[in-house]
Amino acid sequence: QVQLVESGGGLVQAGGSLRLSCAASGRTFSSYTMGWFRQGPGKEREFVAARGWSGGSTLYADSVKGRFTISRDNTKNMVYLQMNSLKPEDTAVYYCAGSEYRVAVTIGDAYNYWGQGTQVTVSS
C-alpha cells in the first residue's frame, strides 16, 4: 500500500516556474513507477510525466516535453515535477500517482495509487 501527498502548487505568472513534490509512504516505494497527471477545468484527466521504478524509463506528454522534468529520490520516498516556462494552459489540478508497472506508463488505469491533488494556476 502506498499513500501519496502532493504539495507545491500555487499561482504563478506565465513564463514562471513551480516545483511540485509528492511524498510517498510505504516501504516498497522504489518498486513503483511514479507519474504525474493533471485535470484542467472542464477537461479530462491527462498524462503529464512518468518515471520508472529504477529511473531508467521516463515519459513526457508532448505538451510539456522540454519544459517539465520528473525526478525521484527513492531514499526519501519523494517524486518531483519541475515545471518551467509555464503557460496558462498548464492550469490544472496536478495528481501524483503510483503504478506497479516497472516501466513508465501513460495510461491512468495502470496506476493503483493517487494523491489528493494540488492546484496549479498560471495567469497570463
Q: Any idea what the Cα angle at residue 106 is, between residues 105 and 109, rounded to 5°?
A: 90
Over the stretch 97-107, which tens digit does the pLDDT of each residue have?
Answer: 999 988 899 99
Per-residue pLDDT at 118 exceeds 90: yes
Cα–Cα distance for residue pair 21/32, rounded to 1 Å: 16
Distances in Å between the Cα of 40 and the Cα atoms of 18, 25, 43, 62, 114 are: 17, 27, 5, 16, 17
Mean predicted confidence (pLDDT) in 90-116:
94
Q: Which residues pair with 111 in a beta bridge?
A: 99
Per-residue pLDDT at 23 exceeds 70: yes
Over the stretch 34-60, which tens digit does the pLDDT of each residue have?
Answer: 999 999 999 999 999 999 987 679 999
